[in-house]
Amino acid sequence: MRIHGMALLLAAAVTPLACAQGMQLDESTEALQENDGQGEVDEATAVDADTGTDADTEEASTGDKQLQGAATACTPGHGRACYTGLASTRDVGACSGGIEICFSDGSGYGPCEHEVLPAEETCANDIDDDCDGAVNEGCECTPGDTEPCYNGPPGTEGVGICQAGMRTCTEEGTWSPACVGEVQPSLREDLNSPYDDDCTGTPHDSLCEQNGILTCPSGNCMQVPHCSNAGGIVACAFPWECLP
């Protein structure tokens, strides 16, 4: 009876312990299952955490970058040298290159700014405007310039009353035909003037003076024909007389 009673007591003591252990085992199993499920999620999450985005977002971002890279022709704001004229004229005379800037969207470069292209040659400066290596070709002079001029017979400039004048270069780079201030020889020697009017170097050396007419009211003389008819014979003389 004593042994049987001890067995009953031992069984009673072991049963709660086993139940308790069973409960703990069940709880541990459930927890392990829950932990296993979470472990799979955590592992996936850990992989995505390395990139900072989830897989779908990263794939979309990569696609956008590829599209952007394909559409971009240059770096926005980047500048480079340019010249739209003939290559043979670049850096010749007045011509020089410019700069073109990449658009903000990177789609390409803008117009060539600040370049200087060949222009029509002008005589108003000493610059090779058409960038062909020659300065003021075809120009007689620089507009506004002046120089002495004389259109009288050779050898008469500076003789008697004859003197040179001045001519001015026009805007077209040609000399004006007007020779301002020049004095050319007079067609007749003025008998009433003490000057060498015909610019021969000798005052009062006109034909009038050479034929004895030293003065005339009009200052001019010429040969006046005088003819006679004697017995059918015409005879003419050509004396010098003063003109009225």
Residues 107-165: pLDDT tens digits? 999 999 999 999 998 888 889 999 999 998 888 888 899 999 999 999 999 999 999 99
Q: Residue 204 — left, alpha, or beta (φ > 0 → left; ψ -120 to 50 → alpha)?
A: left
Q: Is 168 a residue whose pLDDT tops 80?
A: yes
Q: What pLDDT score does 142 carry?
A: 86
Q: Contact, 211 vs 242, CB < 8 A?
A: no
- pLDDT greater at residue 59 or residue 76: 76
DSSP letter string over 93-149?
Answer: TT-B-EEEEB-TTSS-B---BS-B------TTSSS-TT-SS-SSTT-SS-TT-EEEE
Residues whose CB falls within 8 Å of the CB of residue 172, separated by 6 or more in sequence, listed in order: 123, 143
Q: What pLDDT score does 43 carry?
A: 41
- pLDDT greater at residue 197 or residue 87: 87
Q: Is 239 a residue whose pLDDT tops 60?
A: yes
- Give the H/E segment covering residue 217: none
Q: What pLDDT score does 178 carry?
A: 94
DSSP state of 79: E
Q: What pLDDT score does 124 carry?
A: 81
187-219 residue pLDDT tens: 766 666 778 888 888 776 566 666 666 666 666
Whole-model pTM over 0.75: no
Which amino acid does the sequence have at 241?
Answer: E
Instruction: Output the six-digit token pair for 144.
Output: 């506004």
Highest mean pLDDT among 28-32, 44-48, 86-90, 236-240: 86-90
Q: Contact, 238 vs 244, CB < 8 A?
A: no
